[in-house]
Amino acid sequence: MLHKLLNYNNIYQLWQNKGSTEEAAIELTIQQLDALEEIASDEESWYSLLEISARGRNYDAWLAADWPDGFDELLLCVPLCKFVNWECSKCTVGSRQENNSCAHDYSLFGYIGELVKNGQRDELLDHIKSIRKMLKNSNNIWNIHKCEIEIINSY
């Protein structure tokens, strides 16, 4: 099951093969979320994810390139990050979370790391649904202080 979550090189190459567009970045990020959801939904894979996440997090601040030896939630949004060349304020997500980087612990993707680190499986599965809503609807923003989606009034 863990193999469904693509490593940094594979997801980056796939994004390039799809034209390096924002649409492809969103599509592939959702694909990565689908893989994480499958992992979290499966008992054995969930415990493997917890072990992988706990391994090395205190020694390596950025484990996105280490999967499956290490887990970093930024692995999920590599195509989005590459599309804006790591300029979070230009990103469809970063611009809707007070221009914060997804490396922030309570950002849309950063919160995944907190939930995994704390073994909060049900909350993670709910949060994955929130991320999909954010990616599919530009009228949603992520409140980094409350860790929840809010809707922008568009009138």
Q: Are 110 and 103 in contact (CB under 8 A)?
A: yes
Whole-angstrom Cα distance, residue 150 to residue 72? 25
pLDDT digits (tens, 9 = 90+) for 102-146: 989 999 999 999 999 999 999 999 999 999 999 999 999 999 999
CA atoms within 13 A on the CB side of 98: 13
Whole-angstrom Cα distance, residue 147 to residue 9? 29
With vertex at residue 127, the alpha carbon angle to CA 49 and CA 107, rounded to the nearest 5 degrees, is: 90
pLDDT digits (tens, 9 = 90+) for 27-37: 999 999 999 99
Whole-angstrom Cα distance, residue 45 to residue 106? 24
